[in-house]
Amino acid sequence: MICIGIESTAHTLGLGVVESREKRIKVLVNRTWKYPSITEGYVPFKLAEHHADNAGALATELKNTGLKPDLVSYSQGPGIGHSLHVGFIIAKTISNTFDVPLVPVNHAIAHIEIGKSECRTKNPLIVYVSGGNTQIIIQKDKYEVVGETMDMGLGNMLDQLGRKLNLDPPDAVGVLKEAEKTKDFTNLPYTVKGMNFSFTGLLTAALKSREKKDKICFSAQETAFSMLVEACERALCHYHSKEVLLVGGNARNRRLREMLSIMSASHGARFCAPSDEYCGDNAAMIALTGLVSWKGVEFKNAGPRQKMRVDDSKIMKNKYYLAK
């Protein structure tokens, strides 16, 4: 079977095409059009305009593949309403054109599913770190959030720090680059409550600091990651997990991977994270999840849902693996 995926939760419009053969899934297309990081941040109507302006390029890319899909999937949520709506219209148009089922996908679960498929995990402790979400998740009959941010996502905190400090680029990547310039540390608020954590106090203190930018970035990143790792270690010990899977856009951060890897190894657990291509928002993960889940999906009220959570949906019973 061939499944098309459309990603549009926030700053990225994506087209993904995957093909399944028995229990293996091959990614045929994984193309993205990303709204650039700018100091004003992401304005919803501008994101919608960006996605709509690139819909033609997406259609051309799909036409050039010459493939006829059996399914079309799309990010239903969580995300920015304006962006989600454009992606939904694109996916619905493709579905109607080819007369194939339209499958709504939980964006958060898609991050997890592609990570599990590529890393070939069994029952990992999942650390989901993106712009709007930072959660510690376990698997039972469905995904269960056992720890999460009490205010803002880790990625959003780092993005705001990058914008306020006028870094290049003005986002989490800019913070990472600046942090790599020093090992000089200054104390910032450290807030962990059980397996939950908070980042607003850290951000406020960092922005008020009169230290050099590199020192602020290094300290903010180290503090935030340490908070997350502490909460993950508590969850790892409580649930006796043997694997730790890091997913989401910020899973590309090598320092965060290093810290979680060290913590996991100290408890005899395997640490893994998907390839960078599948960490950030992408449509291959939407196509893969649509392909895995479509038989058990409820198609009622299938329009965009901004407030979806990872624990809103059941775990996919089918086991698929990304072809190497």
**Could you tell me if 188 and 301 lie in one domain?**
no
Query: What domain count does the chain have?
Result: 2
pLDDT < 50: residue spans in the chain: none
- Judged by DSSP in three states, 118 sits in helix
**Tens of pLDDT, residues 189-205:** 999 999 999 999 999 99
Torsion of CA 260, 117, 94, 1, to 10 degrees: 180
Please report whether residue 41 resides in a domain: yes
Domain membership of residue 22 as a residue range: 2-112+278-322
Residue 186 sits at φ, ψ, to 5 deg, of: -125, 145
Residues 137 and 267 in one domain: yes
Instruction: Say yes or no: 7 and 69 in one domain.
Output: yes
The type of residue at 79 is: G
Round to whole Å and give the CA distance between 137 and 195: 11
* Alpha-carbon span 228 to 197, nearest angstrom: 7
Q: Are residues 87 and 157 in the same domain?
A: no
What pTM does this model have?
A: 0.94
Residues 229 and 247 in one domain: yes
Strand order in the sheet with 2-7: 102-106, 71-77, 2-7, 12-21, 24-34, 321-322
CA distance linking residue 141 with residue 158, whole number of Å: 33
Whether residue 85 lies inside any domain: the answer is yes
Q: Which residues pair with 321 in a beta bridge?
A: 24
What pLDDT, on the 0 to 100 scale, is given for residue 265?
A: 98
pLDDT digits (tens, 9 = 90+) for 133-150: 999 999 988 899 999 999
CA–CA distance, 12 with 10 (Å, rounded to integer): 6
In a domain, 117, yes or no: no
CA distances from 55 to 7, 33, 254 (A): 12, 10, 33
Token code pair at residue 128: 């989901």
Tokens of 174: 């800019």
Res 41: pLDDT: 77
Same domain (yes/no): 131, 226: yes
What pLDDT sits at residue 255?
A: 96
Question: Which tokens belong to 277?
Answer: 């291509």
Same domain, 94 and 188: no
Q: Cα-Cα-Cα-Cα dihedral of 290, 294, 296, 300, to 10°?
A: 90
Exposed, middle or buried: residue 235 (CB in 10 Å: 0-12, 13-18, 19+)?
Answer: buried
Enclosing H/E stretch for 34? strand 24-34
115, 239 Cβ separation under 8 angstroms: no
**Rounded Cα distance, 14 and 218, in Å:** 32
